[in-house]
Structure 1
């Protein structure tokens, strides 16, 4: 089995291939991919993504690498709506389960009009590859399969790679070795 660094090297080479950016996965599906890795290696993955982003040049690579940290998107939206302080107070009074539901409702996570999907859609140019990060930081506010399912319906012009701190077997996303974030079946494993 390849090391994480070797798998990241392979992923970087794949992303640069014009055939990858044609946005067709296996069976001509829209190109949605999952790169899974051990959660304890999060900092290594973050560093590598920043390195890839820094060296990407649309003029020479032919595409723009766009990185979205889902946690940062949630925080941005909550701040824009003026709900951060309310969330802190609400969590103290009602608990985490209730705040998850309230934030989910605000972000319209279960809807086609998801604010997270709109945020990504509005900031994704043509000729791009989208990298989604921050999945572990979002839990339990946001489940990765919800984002992918909603994005799949809204963005089909560019490939999307979700960096997932856990295991993905092609059917189920397993976060922190025990929490299943299932129900997503349209993503391909980027690198074995």
Structure 2
């Protein structure tokens, strides 16, 4: 599926209904060649703007999962400092401990709730547009702390009232392959919108 075909699918009225999909599961993955990251970033913004126009009148929220994770760490207290400050200060002398803690934080319910609340707040403030999609990108930057498959299996219960489209820089065969090089994790049940 090309990015143009993706736009056509997202602008289809039947597809926009968040209750349609495979077993009524509203999560999809668009996989693309990691060397085209810059072009895909521009296309994501273009699709959002086109869906926002009066002929569609849809609200699309774009989330860079890496940026949101950093934002979360910068507001999450750890003693007298934030987790971000603590991890930054100790990443060299306590690398293994910081690495392990970051991987735990990425799937902690507090982070998932933070992300969920951010999405809800966005859509609450968008009462003139029809809620349709949340685009999630940034999986290449947040790897290996947060993996696409595990993220979806942990976040799926939060997805209500919209469809989530993950943009994944890699391939999927028997497992996700980030950048087409790194073995990520086993396949998740999100419907693949594969760019081939």
Partner in structure 2 of residue 157 of structure 1: 161
Does 2:28 correspond to 1:25? no
1:130 corresponding residue in structure 2 = 134
For the aligned residue pairs, the C-alpha RMSD in angstroms reads 2.4
Matched, 1:13 2:11: no
Matches within 5 A, 1:165-180: 165-169=169-173, 172-180=175-183
Could you list the runs of 5+ residues in structure 2 that have no partner in the other structure?
A: 77-81, 124-129
Give 1 or 2: higher strand fraction.
2
Task: Tell me the SS of whatever aligns to 2:3.
Answer: helix
Distance 1:123-1:136 versus aligned 2 partners, 3 A rule: farther
Matches within 5 A, 1:1-192: 7-23=2-18, 24-26=20-22, 28-57=23-52, 59-81=54-76, 82-95=82-95, 97-107=96-106, 109=107, 111=109, 114-115=112-113, 117-123=115-121, 125=123, 127-169=131-173, 172-192=175-195
TM-score when normalising by structure 2: 0.81
Given the superposition, is the C-alpha separation of residues 45 and 177 from structure 1 closer, same or farther in structure 2, using an over 3 Å criterion?
Answer: same
59 and 151 in structure 1: CA distance in 2 versus 1, 3 angstrom threshold: farther
TM-score between the two structures when normalised by the length of structure 1: 0.83
Superposed structure 1 runs of 4+ greater than 4 Å apart: 110-113
How many Å separate the matches in 1 of 2:109 and 2:46? 34
Q: Which runs of 5+ in 1 are unaligned?
A: none
Which residue of 1 is the match for residue 126 of structure 2?
none
Aligned length: 183
